[in-house]
Structures are given as C-alpha cells and as structure tokens.
Structure 1
Amino acid sequence: MMYMSRVRVATDRLDRAKLLSVLSGEAYGNHQLLWRLFSDESDRSFLFRQEMEQDQLSAGENPRGLPLFYVLSEPEPVPVPGLLEVHSKPFSPVLATGDVLVFRLRANPTVSRKTATGRSVRHDVLMDAKTECKREGLDDPEAIRKRMDEAAIQWLEKRSERSGFALESVPQLGGYRQHINKRNNKNIQFSSIDYEGVLRVTDEQRFQETLFRGLGRSKAFGCGMLMVRRR
C-alpha cells in the first residue's frame, strides 16, 4: 500500500531561517522538513514534489504564498501539529498496458562521462549538451537551446523504454534550474527540469514500479516523482 499526500506548511513552529529556507525552495532543507512526517523511519521512503499553493489550491482553500508538497510514501505520513498539515489517501492505481495518461515529472537528467583518468563523472544532461555545442564552435543561442532541449527529451525517451511507458508526443519542458545546497559544509549541486506530456503504458508492472520508486536521480531533493492522471 502506498499513500499520496498533500502537505501544507503551518508557520507556527518555523523560525525565520527555516521559513526563508522553505520559501526559497532549498531542496535539502525541504527534504529534512518532510522527513518529520516519518519520525519512525530510519531510511527515506518517500518521493516529493514542491509546488506553490496559489497554483494548486482553489480560492476556497485560502492559498498563501507558501510552498505545497505532494508526497508519495509507503508509510502513511503523520501530521506535525503547528508545522505540517497532511491530507492523505491510499494510492493504488489500476493500470493496464495501453493506457494513455497525462504526466508531469520534475527530474534530474544526468549523463556519465569518462575523464582523462578513466574515472566516470556524472554531468547535467543540458549542460553537457551546451558544452558539446561549444566544442563544435556553435554559438547561436537559439541553436544551443534547441540542442539542450533535445538532450533532455532524449534522456527521458531512453529511460521510458525500461520504465514501462512510451511518450505519445514530444513533452513540454520548463522550470530548468540549477540547485546548490550546503550539507555538512559541502556543496550539493544538481539540476532539475519539468516535463509535461502524454504517455502510453507499455508494461503495467514496470510502470507501477516506476511510479513507486521514481525516475532518475536526486529523489531526496524533490526529483523523480511521476504524477499521472487519465485524460
């Protein structure tokens, strides 16, 4: 059994520093905040996606200028009074091969490249494509942006084959962002980009596993949660 939850932040128990961290979308801080919902768990067992209340809630729900989180988890999250408000429901989608679904995904697309020493290093797919353009002497901004978008789409297409789905059309891209977070005096760097489009389920079991485990890297920082609905 999995649970899909909508989590709102109550500001009663947030000091100024924590509130600023939440408002800035600082990924590691938000991960730590949401972990408060699973105080009995020693390992991360949830995926999450951050949105803004005004984009997700109706006027009757009194949206504020604060983030809202969607959380997919195996254990049911427990609200933290004065800090995190939770509305949860069981998540057990009935899927079949051939189903066509609208999807949204915030992902951290990466590619592994070998250095001169033979060591493999992971790179942001979009920045890797931009670097390749520079190597080729390509300096037209529009052409570079097109190459970067193509690289992001190819990354998703490649992973879809082993994740139980196929893209029905070219997805829309947006929200590209490079994140730098500090943890134990070290910088954690990753990028994220939002995909929106239509997919077709090609293997119901693999696709369900993808929904539950997420897609790509940086899942602890708000990436990888595939959100779907029927058209």
Structure 2
Amino acid sequence: MNPYEVHRKIWDLFPDRQKAKRDFLFRMEQSTPTGHPVLLQSTFEPVSVKGGPVVLGQKEINYFFKTGMVLQFFLTANPTRRIRARGDKTSNQGRCRVPLIDEDEIRDWLKRKFTDVGLLHEVIIAGKSNLYFRKKGRPGKIVTVNYTGLLSVDDPESLANLVENGIGPAKAFGCGLLSLARM
C-alpha cells in the first residue's frame, strides 16, 4: 500500500479542512485480512465519507504529563541526516536527506529529538524497513525505524508539543506519531 496515497485518503476524513495545513499524524499498522488499519491522531474529529476510509473508532485523549513520570513509548520514524546534494540542486539549501544506517547513529538521532523533553532510559530498535511510494508519478523510498523504549519526563510541556507535532521527517508517509503508555 502506497503511504502517500494513504495520506491523501486520510484528508477525505476532514471534508471541511481540505485546504488547511496538515494537522494530523498517522501510522499504518500491521495489515489484516480485512484491510489496512491506520492509527490517526488529530485535533479535529474525523468523519467517514461514502467511498472513503472508514473510522472504526475514536477516543479523546487528554495527556497529563508530570516531571519524573516514566512512560513506555513506540514510534515509527524516518531518521535522516542532511548532506550536500550533487549537481545543481538549489532547493533545501542545496542539501538532501539520507537515511541513517548505523544503529548507534539511529539511536543517537532519537536521543537528540528528546534532548529538551526527557531522558531515554532504554531505546530498542524493533525493526527497520524500506517504504516505497509514488508521489506525482515519481517513485521514492524512505527507510523507517520502529523504536520502543522507556523515557522519564523532564519537561512536560515539551513532551506535549512533541506528541502534538510528531517527530522527524516523512510525516506524510506515516512517520512521527509518538505513542505513550504509563508504566
């Protein structure tokens, strides 16, 4: 399933917001015989539309984070770094994103994202995969990493901001949604 097309279909759940800036995050879950479930986080309520994706359930979540709180986390992300682009590329200040391959670099990338938020006690790389897509007829690929682990909260407001805005690039491809659970 093309994640870019999933992103486009999710917009159908917000019929009154088609021209708005993207303000939702999603993650494609493991496919089942009945379909391709997607976990969606949005400040606006999604609405099923005939012929479009179906909202199977929804739940309002109000996070309350406290300093010192220990949480379990799950994240699918696209850890990258920028390098100077070859040729005459002028967009993105002449730089392009490349995936991180080394597991230490992949862990360090995540630790940098949590610098102002809290302390990562444990970071497990639960899987890596190549995600292929087509955007405007052109093929592309990103490398996704599934992280799990434990974190203790240092700055509740910064954590709430991270949850709301997501982590890293490729949010239009199902990356960046941070899932948390109390210990």
Could you say whether these structures have the same fold, taking a TM-score greater than 0.5 normalized by the shorter chain as the test? Answer: yes
Q: Which amino acid aligns with 2:103?
A: D
Q: What is the deviation of 1:206?
A: 0.5
Q: RMSD of the TM alignment (CA)?
A: 2.0
Residue number in structure 2 paired with 1:103: 73
**In structure 2, the residue corresponding to 1:215 is in which secondary structure?**
coil
**In the alignment, is residue 29 of structure 1 matched against residue 5 of structure 2?**
yes
Residue number in structure 2 paired with 1:68: 37
- Give the share of equivalent positions with the same residue, in percent: 28
Residue number in structure 1 paired with 2:126: 174
Q: What is the deviation of 1:53?
A: 6.1
Q: Give the distance between the partners of 2:77 and 2:47, measured in 1 at CA.
A: 26
List runs of 5+ in structure 2 lacking aligned partners.
88-92
Larger Rg: 1
Q: Which amino acid aligns with 1:49?
A: R
Higher relative contact order (CA 8 A, sep 6+): 2
Q: Is the 8 A contact 2:46 2:55 kept in 1?
A: no
Aligned residue pairs: how many? 175
Alignment of structure 1 residues 47-196 onto 2, 5 Å: 47-52=25-30, 64-81=33-50, 83-115=53-85, 119-126=94-101, 148-162=102-116, 164-169=117-122, 171-196=123-148
**In the alignment, is residue 198 of structure 1 matched against residue 176 of structure 2?**
no
Query: Which of the two has greater helix per residue?
Result: 1
Residue number in structure 2 paired with 1:38: 14
**In structure 2, the residue corresponding to 1:211 is in which secondary structure?**
helix
Q: Give the distance between the partners of 2:4 and 2:99, measured in 1 at CA.
A: 18
Q: Deviations over 1:152-196 (max 9, x none)?
A: 10110111103x122012x22133122231122222332211001
Q: Which amino acid aligns with 1:176?
A: K
Q: Give the distance between the partners of 1:204 and 1:188, measured in 2 at CA.
A: 36
Q: What is the deviation of 1:98?
A: 0.9
Give me the TM-score of the superposition, normalised by structure 1.
Answer: 0.70
**In structure 2, the residue corresponding to 1:77 is in which secondary structure?**
coil
Give me the TM-score of the superposition, normalised by structure 2.
Answer: 0.87
Q: Which amino acid aligns with 2:24?
A: F
State which drifts further: 78-87 or 102-111: 78-87
Distance 1:115 1:85, change over 3 A: closer
Q: Which amino acid aligns with 1:200?
A: S
Q: Give the distance between the partners of 2:180 and 2:127, measured in 1 at CA.
A: 18
Q: Give the distance between the partners of 2:163 and 2:127, measured in 1 at CA.
A: 21
List runs of 5+ in structure 1 lacking aligned partners.
1-23, 55-63, 127-147
Q: Is the 8 A contact 1:160 1:167 kept in 2?
A: yes
Deviating above 6 A after TM superposition, structure 1's stretches of 4 or more consecutive aligned residues are none
